[in-house]
Amino acid sequence: MLQAAGGGLVVGTGAVGAWQWLAPDAQGGRSSKEFSARPAKAALSESFVHIMAHADDSLYFMNPELEQAIRSGAPAVTVCMTGGESDGRNALSRSPGYAQLPEKRAEFVRARINGLREATAHMATGDWLSPWTVEKTTLLPGFEVELQTLKAAPQVQLIFMELVEARVMRAPRKDSLRGLWLGATPGLTTLVPAASPVERTFQYSRQQVVDSLTAVLERYQPTVVRTLDPNPTHLPKQPHYADTPPVLQGISTHDHQDHTASAHFAQAALAQYWGRKHARPTAVDSYVGYEVATLPNSLDAATTAHKVEILDIYGWADGRDCGDPAGCGDRKVGNRSKDTRWSDNLRHRATGTQRWVQPLTDGRLAAFAILDGQAQCWTETRAGNGIWSKAVPAGGSMLEGQIQALRRADGTLRLFSVRTVLPTPDSAHRREIVTAAQTGATPGGAPSFGSWESLGAPEDEPGRSMEMGYPVAVEEQDGTVHVFVKNWAGGVSVRSGAGGRDWTEWEELATDTDRPVRVEDGLDAVVDAKGRVHVVAADTKTVHHWMSAGPGAPLEPAGPTRLPAATGPLTLAPLSGGGVRLAVRQPTTARVVIADRQAEGGWRVTAQGRSIAGYGRVALAQVGGTTVLAARDGKGMMRLSAGAGRPGPWQDGGVPHRGTAGIAQDAKGRPVVVVLGMDGRLSSARGRGTGASAFTDWVAHDGSVLSDLQTS
């Protein structure tokens, strides 16, 4: 075993190729006054596994959620699949003398490992030189990987598989994760980092990579798995690569090919893991990668600055000595993160929905979420009592994101989601919209559903279906159900079914501009008090609006909203009299902004709340005359607001959660906000008025009060 402090290694008996760690002087280390060291604690109800391609991926694309997991006290494990060796030159490509630098790939891989370790130690303890134990371990018989454990917080671990990386962002290369995933090569070798306890290379088959990740899942039994983006957006202009073998041809995207392939391997491992016996269910979040540079920034300035501080540690920006001659970080990143658009964003590929909590015909509320790739249902034990049952399965497989539950006019429910179909020799890799209709009730009183039906995708070509967005659905007064989704080209497509049956073909909504509209995912739709259907979606500059002229009329562009840019996901709620209300987040500030469209037309911004930082979709509902909001704050907590007519102040306190909150009205007329915790546990808070104390404490579905989690 090796022990590491900061970037250097302390040699244990029998180790070779390592060196003594030389501590810098007392003034040479980094420190964090706002994130002081604290002892590890046991949080056995939840566990996090982060699967990524390169050493900096989680720092760029999963933070601040990565740090929140690391600091929660729960097991937080990061798996780095490739060495990220690049050309082996630990310097910016534009720096003087770069071309003359020797290619030292083993040393550069070690420097990147050191950078990630130091950044992780800083997030966990506030001390970048907090020591680690370093050892080799086995995930599969005959294969070794490097395992690092933070001594001050042993629930924080790093696993390095060290498969060779693609070394190019998009150009097809058979010796890469993508080449292995697609079958262009039967095996992918590893690269041994400098001074690694793993002393030889290994060659992995496609299945052995899947089995290795499955072994990680079996070892840590995660409640949350985080991956990079499995469905990045294609480049507007596809590059041409000469002499590309057919198996490596495909759509070039905004993201790095290693990012996408790592996510696909993670999905295959999850499918295999879910097919076996395991202790507790798993939720999955996927994060948009390089594409965020093309989108409005979703993080506020303070959150971005703290994220950059961590990236500067990884990038060895201050040149501090960690005692390792291989290097103390990744100088290709260096101090550039403050100028990189990857730093000021965090975006989930699945944008979520607030419409996953609905009343049943007997007045009880039902809530739906995806765990282990299946729909799960919780119900109130009695109408309005605030006590929730245990989750029962509602079917489906390889479902993603959050379930949308549509309440039909007859009181029954219809569920919508997206399903990934992994590739087989007889089936292409693709995604499809799926739906299931309520058929009755279980003996325990939960709603029961028929089989999940595929509604396909707006594009028949499997590769294009991978970029499809997440569905929103509404029902018109005559019982026609409309399903809306972002399509491959960036427009909005709709499929309709009378009574939720006899579905039409997919059609794209028209636009009123000469140029095509390319919206971000995160659209929303409602039916107003006059029976008109409204659909909204944001591009990088403004919000687009479609509406019908009345019940049964087709949707048409409603003219420019003249609303400012938003950070993606939008939420609509109908107002009395035929108007609609919109909740968005403002770029750069992350502030929640409210805009109204009156019944006869014309959008205008009507309210802007005090900034609580955070990001992602805001839940919004009109309950009687009360406007209810639920939004993530900068600490990852769900915050609530209720005001008469307009939004009220944000209530202090919150609860950790994932996804978007659900809002519904219970049998007693009170607004109820529901969230899913990192441990797969449902929690809720109920309204008791408006103002600074508008809601009760959060209560878990097992009845425990979570007020100890509140923080102002």
pLDDT higher than threshold 60 for residue 6: no
**Residue 234 DSSP one-character state:** B
pLDDT of residue 204: 98
User: What is the model's pLDDT at position 21?
Assistant: 25
Coil vs helix vs strand at 627: strand
Three-state DSSP state, 108:
helix
> Contact 75/220 with Cβ under 8 angstroms?
yes
Task: Say what the pLDDT of residue 4 is.
Answer: 53
Residue pair 300/589 in contact (Cβ under 8 Å)? The answer is yes
| Cα–Cα distances in angstroms (integers) from residue 247 to residues 168, 180, 277, 391, in the given order | 18, 11, 34, 42
User: Is residue 42 scored above 80 in pLDDT?
Assistant: no
Q: Is the pLDDT reported for residue 7 higher than 80?
A: no
Pick the most confident of 42-46, 119-123, 276-280.
Answer: 119-123
pLDDT digit string, tens, across residues 183-226: 999 999 999 999 999 999 999 999 999 999 999 999 999 999 99
706, pLDDT greater than 60? no
pLDDT at 701: 77
> What pLDDT, on a 0 to 100 scale, did the predictor assign at position 23?
27
Residues contacting 40, CB < 8 A, separation 6+: 73, 152, 153, 154, 155, 156
According to the model, what pLDDT value does residue 678 have? 96
Average pLDDT over the chain, rounded to an integer = 92
pLDDT at 500: 87
CB 118 within 8 A of CB 6: yes
Question: Cβ(406)–Cβ(473) under 8 Å?
Answer: yes
Q: Say yes or no to pLDDT of 27 above 70.
A: no
- Report d(CA 68, CA 51) in Å as an integer: 16
Please, what is the end-to-end C-alpha distance for the chain in angstroms?
44
Q: 10 pLDDT exceeds 60?
A: no
CA 523-640-675 angle, to 5 degrees, is: 65
In this structure, whether the domain defined by 350-468 belongs to CATH 2.40.128 is answered with: yes
Identify the pLDDT of residue 415: 98
Domain ranges of the chain: 2-7+49-91+106-234+261-339, 350-468, 610-712
Could you say which of 3.90.1200, 3.30.70, 2.60.120, 3.40.50 is the CATH number of the domain covering 2-7+49-91+106-234+261-339? Answer: 3.40.50
Question: Does 350-468 match 2-7+49-91+106-234+261-339 at the fold level?
Answer: no
Could you give the CA distance from residue 248 to residue 680 in angstroms, rounded to a whole number?
Answer: 38
Evaluate if residue 326 carries a pLDDT over 50.
yes
| AA letter at 640 | L
Least confident among 41-55, 149-163, 620-634, 667-681: 41-55
In this predicted structure, the answer to whether residue 28 has a pLDDT above a threshold of 80 is: no
Segment (H or E) for 302: helix 301-314
Please give the structure tokens belonging to residue 500.
């939720």
Tell me how far apart the alpha carbons of residues 198 and 137 are, in angstroms, rounded to a whole number. Answer: 9
**Under DSSP, is residue 187 helix (H, G, I), strand (E, B) or coil?**
coil
pLDDT at 494: 98
pLDDT digits (tens, 9 = 90+) for 105-132: 999 999 999 999 999 999 999 999 999 9
pLDDT at residue 628 in the model: 97
* Bridge partners for 404 per DSSP: 416
